């Protein structure tokens, strides 16, 4: 009798566990099929080019993400609407370039402020298959990929047919770069990934794809090694002169050496600021090569003071900020 009582309890526990886990993250996306049918889309879909697709996500305010390339076709091939109970995305006359991730999420809003509800999302990766375009087309014929020693680097040669055989090749010396599944892997949704980039990986590479026909070659990718460590800006400041006479023109220069693809924003505090002393501030940046394949971004901000006078004497403070933090440096200019 004891065993009989225990047996019906076991499936109830399992049901409760599964229902608890499902409430943590619910897929709110459905795909509209023909003849009014609906189905939850698989994690990946393969559709022929030219076919249209309609996705709906349940909720009264829905956010969407899709290949950025499609922004050009808003209100022509791509239509996104919010209806009372669901958000709707329709893509018409699909092309190979539309291949990518399509996702949605419920927005929780309080007035004009909205945030993403992580428990109510949906996504599918769609391959728009085209035998004539094995690689997802790009707008350029050449791309730069930065190799940073402390983060993976992606060579984004994605394909439109998931079953295509894709290999990575170095241009010079001409050779195939083997993927070992550990240091170099291939992700059909992203491309080739260097997990731990080194300076040995720099150079020009391309991808080769084959699927029941003649092989196709991707665009070329220039791999540049970045020697500057990631983090808050590495900043220095220097004045054209730390002692100025009345009437002199003084420049104070703030310099940051950093990663090629990380932007830097500058701000200044200076002695005549509260008195609204007119100054000229100019920001600029450029890429510099430090050895073969080593590239650094040099960002500069210059504050220029003409006809130096008493109110201009004091501390000039430069703050440089990037996505990883900020650095403040200062120098003093005195009136002699």
In the predicted structure, residue 101 carries a pLDDT above the cut 90:
yes
What's the residue count for the chain? 336
User: pLDDT class for 125, splitting at 50, 70, 90?
Assistant: very high
Nearest-angstrom CA–CA distance, 218 and 209: 8
In the predicted structure, residue 156 carries a pLDDT above the cut 50:
yes
In the predicted structure, residue 174 carries a pLDDT above the cut 60:
yes
Q: How high is the pLDDT of residue 7?
A: 44
Give the Å distances, CA to CA, from 278 to 241, 265, 332.
19, 21, 18
> 285, 244 in Cβ contact below 8 A?
no
**What number of other Cβ atoms are within 10 A of residue 16's Cβ?**
10
Q: Tokens 């050496």 sit at which residue?
A: 257
Q: Is the dihedral of CA 200, 201, 206, 207 positive or negative?
A: positive
In the predicted structure, residue 249 carries a pLDDT above the cut 70:
yes
Tell me what the pLDDT averaged over the chain comes to: 86
Mark out the alpha helices in the chain (DSSP H runs): 2-6, 9-24
- Burial of 77-112, coded b for 16+ CB within 10 Å and e otherwise, reads bbebebeeebbbbebeebbbbbbbebbbbbbeeeee
Q: How high is the pLDDT of residue 216?
A: 94
**What number of other Cβ atoms are within 10 A of residue 250's Cβ?**
21
Task: Write out the two tokens for 198.
Answer: 């080194």
Backbone Cα Rg of the chain: 28
Nearest-angstrom CA–CA distance, 160 and 127: 5
**Max Cα-Cα span within the chain:** 103
Nearest-angstrom CA–CA distance, 224 and 200: 10
User: pLDDT class for 50, splitting at 50, 70, 90?
Assistant: very high
Q: Is the dihedral of CA 133, 134, 140, 141 positive or negative?
A: negative
């Amino acid at each position: 009798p004891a065993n009989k009582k225990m047996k019906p309890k076991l499936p109830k526990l399992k049901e409760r566990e599964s229902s608890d886990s499902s409430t943590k993250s619910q897929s709110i996306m459905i795909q509209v099929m023909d003849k009014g049918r609906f189905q939850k889309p698989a994690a990946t879909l393969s559709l022929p080019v030219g076919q249209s697709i309609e996705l709906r996500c349940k909720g009264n305010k829905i956010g969407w993400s899709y290949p950025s390339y499609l922004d050009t076709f808003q209100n022509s091939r791509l239509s996104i609407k919010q209806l009372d109970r669901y958000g709707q995305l329709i893509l018409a006359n699909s092309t190979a370039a539309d291949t990518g991730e399509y996702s949605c999420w419920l927005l929780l809003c309080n007035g004009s402020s909205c945030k993403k509800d992580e428990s109510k999302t949906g996504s599918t990766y769609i391959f728009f298959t085209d035998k004539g375009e094995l690689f997802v087309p790009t707008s350029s014929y050449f791309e730069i990929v930065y190799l940073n020693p402390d983060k993976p680097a992606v060579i984004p040669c994605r394909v439109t047919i998931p079953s295509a055989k894709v290999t990575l090749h170095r241009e010079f010396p001409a050779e195939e770069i083997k993927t070992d599944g550990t240091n170099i892997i291939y992700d059909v949704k992203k491309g080739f990934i260097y997990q731990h980039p080194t300076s040995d990986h720099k150079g020009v590479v391309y991808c080769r794809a084959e699927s029941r026909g003649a092989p196709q070659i991707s665009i070329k990718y220039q791999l540049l090694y970045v020697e500057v460590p990631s983090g808050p800006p590495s900043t220095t400041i220097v004045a054209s002169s730390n002692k100025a006479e009345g009437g002199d023109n003084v420049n104070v220069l703030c310099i940051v050496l950093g990663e090629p693809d990380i932007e830097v924003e500058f701000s200044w505090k200076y002695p005549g600021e509260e008195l609204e002393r007119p100054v000229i501030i100019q920001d600029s940046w450029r890429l510099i090569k430090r050895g073969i394949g080593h590239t650094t971004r040099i960002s500069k901000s210059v504050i220029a003071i003409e006809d130096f006078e008493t109110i201009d004497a004091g501390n000039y403070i430069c703050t440089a900020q990037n996505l990883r933090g900020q650095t403040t440096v200062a120098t003093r200019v005195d009136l002699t």
